[in-house]
Amino acid sequence: MKFVDEIDISVKGGDGGNGVAAFRREKYRPKMGPSGGDGGAGGSVIFTADENITTLIDLRYKRHIEAKRGENGQGSDMYGKGGADTVVRVPVGTVMVDADSGEVLGDFTVHGQEVVAARGGRGGLGNIHFATPSNRAPRQCTPGEPGEARSLRLELKLLADAGLVGLPSVGKSSIIARISAAKPKIADYPFTTLIPNLGVVRLSPDESFVVADIPGLIENAHRGAGLGIQFLKHIQRTAVLVYVLALDATLENDLIRDFDTLRRELDSFEEGLSGRDAIVVLNKSDLSETRDIAPALRAHMATMGLRTILVSAATGDGMDELKRVLGEQIGIRKHSGADPTSATGAFPARE
């Protein structure tokens, strides 16, 4: 399934049905009074969060959504039927923004959460409402009100407890494959992940957390370079950042420069983003020719209050420590046997 995390659509509530002017015409009972009923209310467009959906692709080819209009009123005091609501399902983690005003209309963080995006119009009044002692045969009635119309922008921001960030080809996908049941694409040649991946990390039957693998960042990602600006928003909700550096660099200064680049790009995208709780992971520790620079890097990160963990995605070394430290910093959620993705709308967490 193609991953779509931004979409522009328009929505419109159903128009209300018209009220009618009618009079009773019953046999043997002439000159009866007004009997025009009200029109039915138009349906509303309602968005609901669904943990079973992982992308906005279903809305890509349906850019205009409109609810049903209400039926017109009828004689004999019969009211028109209300229009049916139109329910649109979106992934948990979706943010709904009014495209014209920029107002956030809804932030879907829980399965089943609902937001009315466009209300239906009220039905018009029939002439039964206009009868008075001095006007016993009113011919007035009112039309139904038009439904509310909006232009919306939907943005999907993945919900994860920890986010792996790093330059391309540093082993983020390999790490998430090691510590969770996620199965991202991994190859023995340089390439970068094109979509975010989520994995559920289980420490025990009732203790788990969700980790996101964010596509590789490069310098000036916040300005649109590479894929970074498209996916940086997915780490805005994470509680802990995991900076992944690869020990295949030959110089300590190279890795420090890479680390500074990552922090700079995060802060350029959102001020203070790099200041969140974080740990540093030094991958490829199985390479003996570069492992010697790890102590100096650990000391450098310690001066900034950051804990450093040495791992090897190739051999699995250090993965248990990584899971334990992440669990401690996140404050492990208790799922009591429930599906972890039900709390996060994870994409595409595989159990």
Question: What is the spatial distance between Cα 261 and Cα 217, in angstroms, rounded to a whole number?
Answer: 9
The confidence score (pLDDT) of residue 78 equals 92
Is residue 160 pLDDT above 90, yes or no? no
As a whole number, mean pLDDT of residues 141-169 equals 87
What does the pLDDT average to over 71-87? 94
Whose tokens are 């209309």? That residue is 105
Determine the pLDDT at residue 29. Answer: 61
Task: Return the minimum-mean-pLDDT range out of 108-122, 155-169, 172-186, 199-213.
Answer: 172-186
Nearest to 162 by CA among 143, 149, 153, 175: 175
Which pair of structure tokens corresponds to residue 151?
Answer: 């232009």
C-alpha dist (Å) from residue 315 to 182, 184, 185, 221: 17, 17, 18, 31
pLDDT score of 235:
74
Predicted local confidence at residue 3, as pLDDT? 58
Architecture of the 1-156 domain: Distorted Sandwich (2.70)
Q: Are strands 114-118 and 45-50 parallel, antiparallel or unpaired?
A: antiparallel
pLDDT the model gives residue 345: 34
The string of pLDDT tens digits covering residues 280-306 is 999 888 877 667 788 888 888 999 989
pLDDT tens-digit map of 246-262: 887 656 678 888 888 88
The boundaries of every CATH 3.40.50.300 domain in the chain are: 162-343
Q: Is the pLDDT of residue 351 over 60?
A: no
Band of residue 147 on the pLDDT scale cut at 50, 70, 90: very high
- Write down the pLDDT at residue 209: 82
204 three-state secondary structure = strand
Please provide the size of the chain in residues: 351
Give whole-number Cα distances, 96 to 57, 116, 178, 217, 227, in Å: 15, 11, 34, 26, 23
Q: Highest mean pLDDT: which of 34-48, 54-68, 323-337? A: 34-48
The better pLDDT of the pair 169, 312 is held by 312
Regarding the domain delimited by 162-343, which CATH topology (the fold level of the hierarchy) does it fall under?
Rossmann fold (3.40.50)
Q: pLDDT grade, residue 1 (50/70/90)?
A: very low
What confidence score (pLDDT) does residue 56 get?
Answer: 84
> pLDDT tens digits for 300-349?
899 998 999 999 888 889 999 999 999 888 876 544 333 433 333 333 33
Q: In terms of Cα–Cα distance, which of 224, 223, 200, 211 is closest to 165?
A: 211
Map tokens 């570069």 to a residue: 290
* pLDDT reported for residue 202: 83
Report, as an integer, the average pLDDT of 13-33.
84
Distance CA 346, CA 139 (A): 58
Cα separation, 24 vs 22, in Å, equals 7
The tens digit of pLDDT for each residue in 81-135 reads 999 999 999 988 889 999 999 899 999 988 999 999 999 999 999 999 998 888 8
Once rounded to an integer, what is the mean pLDDT over residues 25-29?
71
Q: What is the pLDDT of residue 183?
A: 66
The pLDDT confidence band at residue 184, using thresholds 50, 70 and 90, is low
Closest CA to 104 of 147, 157, 62: 157
- For the chain, give every residue range classified as CATH 2.70.210.12: 1-156
pLDDT in tens, 194-248: 566 777 788 877 787 888 787 666 555 445 444 545 566 667 778 889 999 888 7
